Amino acid sequence: MSETSNKSLEKRTYGTELGFLTRAVHTGNDVDSETGAIKRPIVMANSYELPYDPTDLNWSEAGKNLYTRNGGANQQYLQDKLASLEGGEDCICLASGVGALSGLFFALLNTGDHVVFSNVTYIAVYRLLTELLNKKFGVETTIVDTTDLEAVRAAIRPNTKLVHIETPGNPTISISDIEEIVRIAHEHHALLSVDNTFASPYNQRPIELGADFSIESLTKYINGHGDAMGGAIIGKKEYLDIIRAQSQINLGATISPFNAWLIMRGAVTLPLRMRQHNSNALALAHYLESLPCVSFVAYPGLESHKGHFIAKKQMPGGYGGVISFGLKADHDTHNKFVSHLQVITSAVSLGHDESLIVFLGENDERQYLYPAEFHNGFFRFSVGIEDEADLIEDIRQALEKTGLL
C-alpha cells in the first residue's frame, strides 16, 4: 500500500457535529487496515491471539479481542454506530431484542427490587417481569397505564429501581410521555428504560430526552430488511459494563458477527427508509380513517390519536410505520380480507422493507390491559416502503372482494 493511502487508515471520528444521515453512513465504518478495503470486513473468528503471557487475563472481561462471546470486531463497529445515532455514551448489541431486554432486567434487578412497567409492552417483557423475574427471583412488579402520569407516580415505591416503558407501545400504539416519566423516575431515584423499537432513533431519541436506557430490537427498523435478528441497549457506560459482564458474557446472548455486519449494512439507509415508512403510514392511516367499515385507527400521526400532541413533541422525525386498526367484521371476514391482499403479507414482525399485517387480540390474555376497541380482534399493520398508491389500492381491492366496501 502506498504512503499516500495510509492517511485514511487512521480511525476517523464522526462526532455529533455531523448530521444524523452522515453518521448513519459513516460511523463505525473505517478503512480496513489489513486490506485497505473501504468497508469493514466480517470477522467470523471465535478467538483472537493471546499475548506472550496470558496468565493475568480476565476470561470474563469484555471489550478486548479475546473470545467472540466477550465481544467481537463487527459487534463493536455496530455499537459505535448505534451509540452515535441514539445520542448515548455506550451501546451493547446482543442476539435479539429480547436478549437486550432480558439482559438489562437480569443485570440491573435484584431480589426485592420493584419495577413499574407499561401495560402495553412486547409480550416477552410481560413474561419476563410478571412471571420469570417475579416468580423465580422475587423481583416485584407493577403494571400501569403509562399514558397516565398520575398512575405512574402512584405506582412508585421506595424500592422501585426501574421504570420500563414502550412508546409507541406494541400493539396498541399508545404514547407515553418520556420527559415527564423521566422526571417522576428520577425524583424517586429510579432508572428509566424506553423500548424505542417502534420509533427507531431517526424518529425519537429517548436518551436525549433524559432516559437512562434506550432499547432497540435491531430485527425491526434498524436492520430493516427482515433478514437478521439483533438487539441493542444504549446508555451510560457505568451500567452497560455491568450488563456486558453479566448478560453478554455469562448469559451468552452474543450477537453473531454476520448478523452484526448485516445490521450495520441495513442501518446505513435507516433515515431514508424511515422517511418513506413515516409518510406511507400517515397516508394509509388517513385512508383507513376515511372508510366506514373501519372501526378505529390508532396511529400517533393522526390528530384523533390520544397521544398525538406528546408524539409531536417527542418524535421530531415522524410517527413511525406501524398502525393498528379494527374492521367492523366477524372472525372469518377478517381472515377473508387478509387472504385477498396481494402486496401486503400476513406475517408477524414489523419494520421490514415490505408491508406486513397480523390479526391480533381476539384471545389475548393481556386484553384486560388494553382499551375496549382492541377487544374484538384488530390488525397490526407494519407499513413498508412500497409505493403509497399500491398499498392503498391493495387494501381497497381486498376490502371490496371481502364485501366490506
Q: How far is the CB of 98 from ligand PLP (least distance, A)?
A: 4
Other CB atoms within a 10 A radius of the CB of residue 387 amount to: 12
Q: How far is the CB of 101 from ligand PLP (least distance, A)?
A: 6
Q: How far is the CB of 352 from ligand PLP (least distance, A)?
A: 11
Q: How far is the CB of 172 from ligand PLP (least distance, A)?
A: 12
Supply 69's cell numbers: 462471546
Report the C-alpha gap between 11 and 24 in whole angstroms: 17
Nearer to ligand PLP, 30 or 195 (CB): 195
Q: Is 275 helix (H, G, I), strand (E, B) or coil?
A: helix
Q: How far is the CB of 177 from ligand PLP (least distance, A)?
A: 18
Report the C-alpha gap between 290 and 93 in whole angstroms: 41
Among 77, 105, 117, 122, binds ligand PLP (CB under 6 A): 122
Bridge partners (DSSP) of residue 194 are 165, 214
With a CB cutoff of 8 Å and minimum separation 6, the contacts of 166 are: 118, 120, 121, 122, 125, 176, 194, 195, 197, 198
Q: How far is the CB of 390 from ligand PLP (least distance, A)?
A: 25
Q: Which stretch binds ligand PLP (CB under 6 A): 28-36, 90-98, 184-192, 296-304?
A: 90-98
Nearer to ligand PLP, 120 or 284 (CB): 120
Among 31, 98, 194, 395, binds ligand PLP (CB under 6 A): 98
Among 29, 84, 96, 203, binds ligand PLP (CB under 6 A): 96
Nearer to ligand PLP, 93 or 109 (CB): 93
Question: C-alpha 397: how far from its chain's center?
Answer: 32
Report the C-alpha gap between 35 and 231 in whole angstroms: 30
Q: How far is the CB of 18 from ligand PLP (least distance, A)?
A: 28
Within residues 346-405, the interface with ligand PLP by CB under 6 A covers none
Supply 115's cell numbers: 419495577
Among 229, 264, 385, 395, binds ligand PLP (CB under 6 A): 229
Q: Is 322 helix (H, G, I), strand (E, B) or coil?
A: strand
Among 71, 88, 97, 206, binds ligand PLP (CB under 6 A): 97
With a CB cutoff of 8 Å and minimum separation 6, the contacts of 359 are: 334, 335, 338, 346, 377, 378, 379
Nearer to ligand PLP, 267 or 329 (CB): 267
Report the C-alpha gap between 266 and 205 in whole angstroms: 19
Nearest residue (beta carbon) to ligand PLP: 97
Q: Is 314 helix (H, G, I), strand (E, B) or coil?
A: helix
Nearer to ligand PLP, 197 or 276 (CB): 197
Nearer to ligand PLP, 204 or 402 (CB): 204
Angle at which helices 331-339 and 388-402 pack, to 10 degrees? 130
Report the C-alpha gap between 207 and 223 in whole angstroms: 20
Residues contacting ligand PLP: total by CB under 6 A: 14
Nearer to ligand PLP, 335 or 346 (CB): 346
Bridge partners (DSSP) of residue 297 are 325
Report the C-alpha gap between 110 and 396 in whole angstroms: 52
Q: How far is the CB of 222 from ligand PLP (least distance, A)?
A: 10
> Is there binding between residue 170 and ligand PLP (CB under 6 A)?
yes
Within residues 182-221, the interface with ligand PLP by CB under 6 A covers 195, 197-198, 217, 219-220
Supply 184's cell numbers: 417522576
Q: How far is the CB of 134 from ligand PLP (least distance, A)?
A: 19
In a 13 Å sphere around the CA of 217, the CA atoms on its Cβ side amount to: 24
Residues near ligand PLP, by CB under 6 A = 96-98, 122, 166, 170, 195, 197-198, 217, 219-220, 229, 231
